[in-house]
Amino acid sequence: MNLEEINKIVYDYRLKPEYEQFVSDLRKFLSEEIAPTAESFDLEEKFPEENIRKFASKGYMGIPVPKKYGGMGLGEFGYGLAVQEISKVDTAHGTIIGASTGLCEVPLWLFGQEWQREKYLPDMTSGKKLGAFALTEPQAGSDAANIRTTASLSGENYLLNGTKQFITNGDRAETLVVFAANELSLGPYGGITAFIVERSFGGIKTAKVEKKMGIRASTTAQIIFENCPVPKENVLGMFGAGFIVALTALDGGRASLSAGAVGGAEETLSRVMEWAQRNPGLARKQSVQKMTADMAMEIHAARLVSYQSLEEIGSYFDRLANGERIPSPERAMISRHTAMAKSYCSEVASRAVDSAMQILGFEGYVEGSWAERAFRDSFIAEIYEGTNDIQRLVIARELLGAEGDR
């Protein structure tokens, strides 16, 4: 069996007909256009500009966004399936696309006024402009409510001042959703506002591009805002309600991340099966059989958890975009499910890569092996969009109704 045939066995799931063609076309595109160069971008730590242009030319930079704004209109479920497929080929490409699509376009679509959607989305869905989501700061990672970037009114503009760090696409995005404190004393609910910021507004400096162990084709930057003038009308959502914008975007991000982790784990299992096929002695070893069976069971469970979360978030976002108010117990349940999906699936992916390394031995550890790159790449899903520890706190606090000790 070749890898393609093995992949079909690993992906033992029947998609709804409306997604089948989309996934099949995307797989073909990825294997022909992206897979051949993905590894070299990682090794050279180079942003895959040409590849991102190819994604854009097929419409893949706007998968969840309605067609009206140049997107594919496939919602969060279709987008999650895409992140799953892209992550099989390279997590860094998935990260670049995710930051632009899931974390910048989606909140713009959900919370933007009609003129904002019409002005900003088509350039991003067409790939003309890349997007970014700037929340994290040096003192505000897990504690995102503690942001210190300020927004102060000066004439017709808000002036943004502060430092954002670890921002995917932060050095090159032309459209950024930026979170800033409009009034520090009000705390996160009331005191934080989301802004649509164009790099061309000026007052934005890239201070640093991080060197990373994994997802090295994606850039992660520290950016400094110095009196960055943002027109008053570029407030995204309600003034003072930016924290809700951030949390909502991150709920969607976590659901799609869970699918990306499932994709990574599936690819790992496929590669292990291919390796075992070429080394029949290995397949007879009980320890290898157990690790392989555990991987398959966990991936199956993870896929169901992820898809359920994607379906839930998909209908939630459609309702939000249509102006429906979602009762808070329902929102809390959806957040809990995305937290569970992101944590569970990312840990399944990490365990799968760990097992693969053990099964492959030296073959996995050597530079240039797929397992070595997967090992460096997979852990990121346990960190970004909120660490898994923090997801567990969210889940537990909801269930126990307690804030807990810090």
DSSP 224: E
Q: Which span (26-34, 135-143, 193-201, 348-356) binds ligand FAD, by CB under 6 A?
A: 135-143
Give yes or no for residue 168 binding ligand FAD (CB under 6 A).
yes
Q: Which is nearer to ligand FAD, 35 or 383 (CB)?
A: 383
Give yes or no for residue 99 binding ligand FAD (CB under 6 A).
yes
Q: Are 302 and 261 in contact (CB under 8 A)?
A: yes
Task: Find the binder of ligand FAD among 383, 395, 396, 398 (CB under 6 A).
Answer: 383
Q: Which is nearer to ligand FAD, 57 or 142 (CB)?
A: 142
Q: Are 197 and 178 in contact (CB under 8 A)?
A: yes
The contact mask relative to ligand FAD for 207-246 (x = CB under 6 A, - = no) is: -----x--x----x--------------------------
Task: Find the binder of ligand FAD among 86, 135, 178, 305 (CB under 6 A).
Answer: 135
| Rounded-to-integer distance, Cα 358 and Cα 351, Å | 11
Give yes or no for residue 346 binding ligand FAD (CB under 6 A).
no
- Which amino acid belongs to residue 1? M
User: What tokens appear for 34 in the block?
Assistant: 């992206």
Q: Which span (117-125, 163-171, 229-237, 294-302) binds ligand FAD, by CB under 6 A?
A: 163-171
Partners of residue 189 on adjacent β-strands:
none
Give yes or no for residue 377 binding ligand FAD (CB under 6 A).
no
Give the count of beta carbons closer than 10 Å to the beta carbon of residue 260.
29
- Residue of 114, 385, 398, 403 with catalytic role: 385
Task: Find the binder of ligand FAD among 59, 73, 122, 141 (CB under 6 A).
Answer: 141
DSSP 153: E
Give yes or no for residue 26 binding ligand FAD (CB under 6 A).
no
User: What tokens appear for 62 in the block?
Assistant: 């706007």
CB of 236 to ligand FAD, least distance (A): 15
The pair phi, psi for residue 43, each rounded to 5°, is -65, -35
Query: Cα separations (Å) of 21 from 64, 273, 371?
Result: 16, 26, 29
Give yes or no for residue 247 binding ligand FAD (CB under 6 A).
no
The pair phi, psi for residue 400, each rounded to 5°, is -95, -10
Give yes or no for residue 35 binding ligand FAD (CB under 6 A).
no
Considering only residues 290 to 309 of the shown chain, the ones binding ligand FAD according to CB under 6 A are: none
Q: Is 385 a catalytic residue?
A: yes
Query: Cα separations (Å) of 224 from 15, 72, 296, 362?
Result: 44, 34, 45, 43
Give yes or no for residue 393 binding ligand FAD (CB under 6 A).
yes
Give yes or no for residue 387 binding ligand FAD (CB under 6 A).
yes
Q: Which is nearer to ligand FAD, 212 or 376 (CB)?
A: 212
Q: Which span (160-168, 262-270, 307-315, 349-357) binds ligand FAD, by CB under 6 A?
A: 160-168
The H or E element that residue 353 is part of is: helix 328-360
SS3 content of the chain, % helix, strand, coil (to 5): 60, 15, 25
| Rounded-to-integer distance, Cα 9 and Cα 6, Å | 5
| Rounded-to-integer distance, Cα 41 and Cα 51, Å | 10
Q: Which span (42-50, 129-137, 147-155, 394-402) binds ligand FAD, by CB under 6 A?
A: 129-137
Q: Minimal CA–CA distance to 126: which of 167, 177, 175, 84?
A: 175
CB of 402 to ligand FAD, least distance (A): 13
- Catalytic residue numbers, as ranges: 385
List of residues contacting ligand FAD (CB under 6 A): 99, 133-136, 141-142, 166-168, 212, 215, 220, 380, 383-387, 389-390, 393, 406
